[in-house]
Amino acid sequence: MTITVAGNKKNYDEELTIAQLIVKENVENAEYVTVTLNDEFVERDEFETTKLKDGDAVEFLYFMGGGAY
């Protein structure tokens, strides 16, 4: 299965869920990551059950607060 992760094509031998991909990719601060699958946001409670398919595109996003002076 070939999927695009953060803009890079990667091959995986087995079917993965988003949660498994987060572990395999060693995503930092996984508890704070937001995930898009084919440009659609995935709810955190769906990470364990959302299975990836050949050709999918996954992005890991972090939203950070900021301020102005």
Residue 69 lies in a domain: no
Cα(52)–Cα(2) distance, integer angstroms? 10
Asked if 11 and 1 touch (Cβ cutoff 8 Å), the reply is: yes
* Burial of 19 per CB tally in 10 Å (0-12, 13-18, 19+): middle
Residue 21 lies in a domain: yes
Q: What does the pLDDT look like over 12-52, one tens digit per residue? A: 999 999 999 999 999 988 999 999 999 999 999 999 999 99
Kind of pairing between the strands at 34-37 and 40-42: antiparallel
- 35, 27 contact by CB (below 8 A): no
Of the pLDDT bands very low, low, confident and very high (cuts 50, 70, 90), residue 62 is: confident
> Any idea which residue has 């695009």 for tokens?
4
Total structural domains within the chain: 1
Which pLDDT belongs to residue 63? 78
Q: Which residues form the domain of 55?
A: 2-61
The reply to whether 43 falls in a domain is yes
Question: What's residue 67's pLDDT?
Answer: 60
> Is the pLDDT score of 10 beyond 70?
yes
